[in-house]
Amino acid sequence: MPIQVLMPALSPTMEKGNLAKWLKKEGEAVRSGDVIAEIETDKATMEVEATDEGTLGKILIPEGTNDVAVNTPIATILADGESAADLGKAEAPKAARMPARDVSSEVAESRAPVGEGKPMISDPKRPAGTAAEIPEDPDIPAGTEMVTMTIREALRDAMAEEMRRDGDVFLMGEEVAEYQGAYKVSQGLLEEFGARRVIDTPITEHGFAGVGVGAAFAGLKPIVEFMTFNFAMQAIDQIINSAAKTLYMSGGQMGCSIVFRGPNGAAARVAAQHSQDYSAWYSQIPGLKVIAPYSAADYKGLLKAAIRDPNPVIFLENEILYGHTGPVPKFDDYVLPIGKARIARAGQHVTLVSWSNGMTYALKAADELAKEGIEAEVVDLRTLRPMDTDTIVASVRKTGRAVTVEEGWQQSGVGAEIVARIMEHAFDYLDAPVMRVSGKDVPMPYAANLEKLALPSIAEVVEAAKAVCYR
């Protein structure tokens, strides 16, 4: 039976790609291992090898075709003795592709107003200067043009704008310059700003994080990219002991304006050492600000704010979200306030609190819950430190019920902190104990079935929300 050649995946998160070139023609003999075509994505180019012997029977996807979904049949190979007449019977190879990680394709951008006006409480134990004084998002005047872009582009634009604005801002990290970023986030920056300001480092995280902090002591404003935050564990001493504590230790003399950014959390099928969520780790540290956005507009507006902030900022991105698109206001200078949560969806029955890719589960769960008559209010924290307690508490006072959603671990997690704050500030308003949906208490397994189980799911969020609603 003729065999179908399927569009292969080049990377753990690839969903589609372009068929750049056919290297074999219809009717040409192919041997197992022959390169028959080249495919590419925005990240990479790869050769497609034949896995079977025979003749290239029919090319189903012509070269030059863009956005071919992974697993689409792209050609058929006829075994010896078969002819074009057999083409109709083609069969797909056995190993079916595991579905890519379940992540929503649309980035919710609803700017639904908060039910109540100004937040009414502030934390008595916390000094002023955190959530209560944080300004609202800038008003987006009616008629502002919105540009749809990927989160990857939003990040790049944010860096480029800040680098144009301030000559002290520079970018350093592994593969950020000539390679255009391991995840193509810094695309084009070397070209525009040159090798003085877009700097490829050796693989020496502890060293270059320290170099960045030292440069910031001297007044520069480094953006230090970690290829992923898993590798920032090599550098965490410089981040915490040098970047976070020096302002305090110097009695306010010597601060450091520096951004540490890169993808955080689980990608797909990259196993335990490459799949950790560090939200809780950094959010524990006084002296750091920690940002973990979800929507494209927030990625842009908050990265610009982070670069301008005079403090060390940890900017946690998410690889799964990089390719997702959303509308970003076409402002000359779209800067959002650090420390302000956003109501991503208004509702009155239960509050779901999340951030970063956790929002994917929360928003989809809210859709499901709505079908059953439960209106969930979804709070996108955006910043983990300082945490916008007021927005969370205002929502919980309205709904009386809450569920936190995170990909990281539960013990000493960000969810645990949120629960504690709700308990401290809205205990009397609660109609049910707050529940946490999180990553399971295990290192991330590689096997597809186990990885799925280890991560939170939409179903778990729905179940928890119903449980706190006693439904």
Structure-token match 């209560």, residue found:
132
Distance of closest approach, residue 41 Cβ to another protein, in angstroms: 8
Smaller CB distance to another protein: residue 379 or 437? 437
The residue within the footprint of another protein, chosen from 271, 420, 423, 459 (CB under 8 A), is 271
Whether 100 and 324 have beta carbons less than 8 Å apart is answered as no
Q: Give the Cα separation of 135 and 132 in Å (integer).
A: 8
Pairing of strands 16-22, 65-69: antiparallel
Contact between 249 and ligand TPP by CB under 6 A: the answer reads no
Report the site for another protein in 139-198 (rule: CB under 8 A).
Answer: 174-175, 178-179, 182
Q: Which does 248 bind (CB under 5 to 8 A by kind): another protein, ligand TPP, none?
A: none
46 binds, among ligand TPP, another protein, none (CB under 5 to 8 A by kind): another protein
**205 forms part of the interface with ligand TPP (CB under 6 A):** yes
The CB-of-316 to another protein minimum distance in angstroms stands at 19
β partners of residue 6: 73
Hey, is 7 helix, strand or coil? coil
Q: Of the candidates 335, 354, 334, which has an alpha carbon nearest to the alpha carbon of residue 344?
A: 354
CB of 125 to ligand TPP, least distance (A): 38
* Inter-axis angle of helices 296-308 and 151-165, nearest 10: 30
Active-site residue identified among 153, 161, 174, 274:
274
- Contacting ligand TPP (CB under 6 A), which of 231, 247, 346, 445? 231
Residues numbered 143-182 forming contacts with ligand TPP, rule: CB under 6 A: 174
What is the number of alpha carbons within 13 Å of residue 57 lying toward its C-beta? Answer: 27
Residues with Cβ within 8 Å of 303's Cβ and at least 6 positions away in sequence, in order, are 154, 155, 158, 159, 162, 259, 261, 291, 315
CB closer to another protein, 218 vs 447 = 447
Residue 274 bears catalytic tag? yes
Q: Which residue is nearest to ligand TPP (CB)?
A: 231
Is position 206 annotated as part of the catalytic site?
A: no
Please state, as a whole number, how many other Cβ atoms lie within 10 Å of the Cβ of residue 386.
19
- Does 234 sit near another protein (CB under 8 A)? yes
Query: Which residue matches tokens 């645990």?
Result: 416
Choose which of 227, 335, 403, 454 interacts with ligand TPP (CB under 6 A): 227
How many Cα atoms are found within 13 Å in the side-chain-facing hemisphere of 102? 14
Select the span of 237-245, 268-276, 431-439, 455-463 touching another protein (CB under 8 A).
268-276
Give which of 418, 386, 420 is closest to 405, Cα–Cα.
Answer: 418
**Hey, is 364 helix, strand or coil?**
helix
């090798």: which residue's tokens? 195
Q: Which range of residues in 76-84, 153-161, 229-237, 323-331 is near another protein by CB under 8 A?
A: 229-237
CB 313 within 8 A of CB 260: yes
Is residue 9 near another protein by the rule CB under 8 A? yes
Residue 34 tokens read as: 């022959």
Q: Alpha-carbon distance 420 to 332, whole Å? A: 40
Give the active site residue among 205, 319, 377, 406. Answer: 205
Nearest to 137 by CA among 341, 363, 410: 341
- CB closer to another protein out of 182 and 259: 182
Q: Least separation, in Å, of the C-beta of 263 and another protein?
A: 14
Catalytic site positions: 205, 274
> Can you give the binding site for ligand TPP, defined by CB under 6 A?
174, 203, 205, 227, 231, 234
> Can you give the binding site for another protein, defined by CB under 8 A?
6, 8-12, 14, 32-33, 41, 43-46, 48-49, 51, 70-71, 93-98, 174-175, 178-179, 182, 200, 202-204, 206-207, 230-231, 233-234, 267-274, 440-443, 445-450, 453-454
